[in-house]
C-alpha cells in the first residue's frame, strides 16, 4: 500500500529523515516508534503531504503522492493535538468535516459509542482534553477508508474510551484496512500491533513483529526491547 524510497528531509542543517526506505503492506496495524526527535512525525506528515521531502519518493497504491492531494480523500488522519476552532460547537464541526467529502459517514454510531450526545451543542473551546480527543476519534473513524493514520490516539482517554478505541482499530483490521499508529504507550502498542517500525535519528533500526524484536533484544516486554535498542545505538 505504501512504498517509501530514499526519503530524505532536513530542516536547516538538521537531518530528520536520512534516506529512509519503508514498505507497508495493505491490511494490519503498524506502529511507528521512536524517541522524541527520531523522525516519526516528519515521516507521518510526509505521507500526508504536510511535509515535502528534499528528495525521495512516496508511493500510495503505486502512485506518487508528492505534490498531489486527491489521494488524501482515501485516508483518515487523527492528529496528535485536537486543535479545533474554539467558537464552533461539536455538531457544527462534525457537519463541516462531513461536507468536505462526498462519502457516507457513521458519525451517529460513534457519537453514541463515546457518549458525546450531551456535548453536541457545546463549544469546542469549553470541552476537556479527553472530550476533545473523543471528538477527534469520531472525525477520524466516521469515514470508511482503507488507510487510517493515528498520531498518539490514546491521549487523554479514560479507560472505557480506550477500550472503544481498541475495538475500532481491531474492527478496521478485520475489514482489511491498514492502520498506522504512533504512540509512546508501549502496552497499547504491544496489545494491538501486528508489526512495528523503530526509528532513530531518521533511520530505521528495526522492522518486524513484536515477538521478533523481543527475541532479538532478549527482552520480555516491548518497552524493555525498545529501551535496549536505544541504549545499543548510543553506547
The domains of the chain are located at 2-79+145-234
Minimal CA–CA distance to 44: which of 168, 190, 182?
182
For the domain covering 2-79+145-234, report its CATH number: 3.40.50.300
* Residue 59 backbone phi and psi in degrees, to 5: -110, 135
Question: Would you state the pLDDT for residue 205?
Answer: 92
Give the CA count within 13 Å in the CB-facing half-sphere of 228. 14
| Contact status, residue 192 vs residue 166, Cβ threshold 8 Å | yes
Instruction: Please report, to the nearest 10 degrees, the dihedral formed by the alpha carbons of residues 38, 182, 154, 195 taken in order.
Output: -130
What 3-state DSSP class applies to 167?
Answer: helix
Instruction: Print pLDDT tens along the chain (235 aa).
Output: 899 999 999 999 999 999 999 999 999 999 999 988 899 999 999 999 999 999 999 999 889 998 888 888 889 999 988 889 999 999 999 999 999 887 889 999 999 999 999 999 999 999 999 999 999 999 999 999 999 999 999 999 999 999 999 999 999 999 999 999 999 999 999 999 999 999 999 999 999 999 999 999 999 999 999 999 888 877 6
State the pTM of this model: 0.93
DSSP per position, 36-99: TTSSHHHHHHHHHTSS--SEEEEEETTEE-TT--GGGGGEEEE-SS----TTSBHHHHHHHHHT
Question: Would you state the pLDDT for residue 235?
Answer: 63
What 3-state DSSP class applies to 158?
Answer: coil
Amino acid at each position: 500500500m505504501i512504498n517509501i524510497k530514499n526519503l530524505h528531509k532536513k530542516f536547516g542543517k538538521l537531518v530528520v529523515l536520512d534516506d529512509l526506505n519503508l514498505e507497508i503492506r495493505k491490511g494490519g496495524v503498524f506502529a511507528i516508534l521512536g524517541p522524541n526527535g527520531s523522525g516519526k512525525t516528519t515521516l507521518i506528515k510526509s505521507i500526508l503531504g504536510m511535509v515535502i521531502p528534499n528528495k525521495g519518493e512516496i508511493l500510495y497504491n503505486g502512485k506518487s503522492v508528492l505534490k498531489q492531494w486527491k489521494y488524501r480523500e482515501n485516508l483518515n488522519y487523527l492528529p496528535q493535538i485536537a486543535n479545533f476552532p474554539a467558537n464552533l460547537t461539536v455538531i457544527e464541526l462534525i457537519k463541516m468535516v462531513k461536507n468536505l467529502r462526498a462519502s457516507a459517514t457513521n458519525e451517529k454510531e460513534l457519537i453514541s459509542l463515546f457518549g458525546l450526545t450531551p456535548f453536541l451543542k457545546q463549544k469546542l473551546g469549553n470541552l476537556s482534553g479527553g472530550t476533545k480527543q473523543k471528538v477527534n476519534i469520531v472525525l477520524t473513524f466516521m469515514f470508511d477508508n482503507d488507510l487510517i493514520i493515528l498520531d498518539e490516539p490514546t491521549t487523554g482517554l479514560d479507560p472505557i474510551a480506550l477500550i472503544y478505541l481498541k475495538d475500532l482499530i481491531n474492527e478496521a483490521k478485520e475489514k482489511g484496512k491498514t492502520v498506522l499508529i504512533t504512540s509512546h504507550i508501549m502496552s497499547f502498542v504491544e496489545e494491538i500491533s501486528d508489526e512495528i517500525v523503530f526509528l532513530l535519528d531518521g533511520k530505521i533500526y528495526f522492522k518486524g513483529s513484536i515477538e521478533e524484536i523481543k527475541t532479538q533484544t532478549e527482552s520480555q516486554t516491548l518497552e524493555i526491547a525498545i529501551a535496549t535498542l536505544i541504549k545499543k545505538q548510543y553506547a
